[in-house]
Structure 1
Amino acid sequence: MADTEDGSKPKKIVFVTVGTTCFDALVRAVDTQAVKEELFRRGYTHLLIQMGRGSYVPWKSGGGDESIAVDHFTFSSSIADHLRSASLVISHAGSGSIFETLRLGKPLIVVVNEDLMDNHQSELAEELAERKHLYCARPQTIDQTIANMNLESLIPYTAGDATPVAKIINRFLGFPDD
């Protein structure tokens, strides 16, 4: 890994987000030594965890030559800046977080919250993983997913054109075609 002009390693941030939910299982999973060591081994220097409404508080550390620096916060008025500065995003399976990250072209691991009833979010995450736009994991498999991921194999996501669908809906509702 190339050093910066001042001799330090370039900053490679892993941003973890649970959105507005409580997803302590994800926060707890990324706070394990196994996950931190695997991220550090892969060249990541910082782990920033947005912990939402959860009660589990991750361990903060300063990092250094032997470990990844860890910080956390509960909420932010916008996570867009955190997403933009991230080298890797680990997210809950909320569609807003997923598509915002994919639109920015960031590598993404989506972690499904198995405690949710009627979990349609897992269907979205698994479908996008099958299409190779992201990786899908469970809290208990996040360390193996990180160890086995090949970010070069991910296919960039391109949003579809919703114009034809909008025209059909407008026609159905009696609005004139433009």
Structure 2
Amino acid sequence: MEGEDKRRVVFVTVGTTRFDSLVKSVDSEIVKQELFAKGYTHLLIQLGRGSYLPSKCEGDDGSLGVDYFTFSSTIAENIRSASLVISHAGSGSIFETLKVGKPLIVVVNEDLMDNHQIELAEELADRKHLYFASPQTLHQTISDMNLSSLIPYSPGDATPVAKHINRFLGFPDD
């Protein structure tokens, strides 16, 4: 269908947790305007256990269409069909997205104490595999992002990242 070819979906996932600050951020007018300005047409948000419900919108009026759901048995198809993924910093979501070669913005839940997920997100951002943001800086990250500057992730990269995380957590190197 002709309309489907022009659909550029941003898929947002919070995993199985509660991450209302991320959902509120992507539902803000400034983030939706930045996404629309970058050529995205639809925003699909997986809410997890959160209580904040975004504003649904069809997107027919020259704005971003917005829809959401709480849980799904798998988000693999949502990731594969997305033009951009915005994810919490869970390693499963990160590596599932990178494995299929989708551009990714990882947003760290700053409400979690001793959050080792920050280490993973920072390391992968330093390697130019993804962008890294907080809920407060997400709009600026979207505004500044240049997806052509991202380096495709190769599964062979996991060993140094895993070693880095293990050292951070105090496990000995093998």
Query: Shorter-chain-normalised TM-score: which range?
Result: 0.7 to 0.9
Structure 2 residue runs of 5 or longer lacking an equivalent are: 160-174
- Three-state SS of the structure 1 residue aligned to 2:56 is coil
The alignment status of 1:111 with 2:107, answered yes or no, reads: yes
Provide the TM-score with structure 1 as the length reference: 0.86
Deviation at 1:64, TM superposition (A): 1.6
Provide, for residues 122-160 of structure 1, a one-character-per-residue CA deviation record: whole Å limited to 9, x for no partner. Answer: 000000000000000000000000000000000000011
Match of 2:54 in 1: 58
Structure 1 residues 161 and 26, CA gap change in structure 2 (3 angstroms) = closer
Q: Which residue of the other structure, out of 33, 37, 53, is the alignment partner of 1:41?
A: 37
Q: RMSD between aligned alpha carbons? A: 1.7
Structure 1 residues 97 and 5, CA gap change in structure 2 (3 angstroms) = closer
- Three-state SS of the structure 2 residue aligned to 1:139 is coil
Deviation at 1:65, TM superposition (A): 4.2
Structure 1: 4+ residue segments shifted above 2 A: none
Deviation at 1:161, TM superposition (A): 7.9
Provide, for residues 80-104 of structure 1, a one-character-per-residue CA deviation record: whole Å limited to 9, x for no partner. Answer: 0100000000000000000000000
Structure 1 residues 5 and 31, CA gap change in structure 2 (3 angstroms) = closer
Structure 1 residues 56 and 150, CA gap change in structure 2 (3 angstroms) = same
The alignment status of 1:24 with 2:17, answered yes or no, reads: no
Structure 1 residue runs of 5 or longer lacking an equivalent are: 164-178
The alignment status of 1:83 with 2:79, answered yes or no, reads: yes
Q: Which residue of the other structure, out of 125, 131, 135, is the alignment partner of 1:135?
A: 131
More helix by share: 2
Please say which structure displays the higher CA radius of gyration.
1
- Three-state SS of the structure 2 residue aligned to 1:109 is strand
- Three-state SS of the structure 1 residue aligned to 2:132 is strand
CA distance in structure 1 between the aligned counterparts of 2:37 and 2:71, rounded to whole angstroms? 29
Sequence identity of aligned pairs in percent? 72
Match of 1:148 in 2: 144
Q: Which residue of the other structure, out of 67, 73, 78, is the alignment partner of 2:69?
A: 73
Structure 1 residues 5 and 79, CA gap change in structure 2 (3 angstroms) = closer
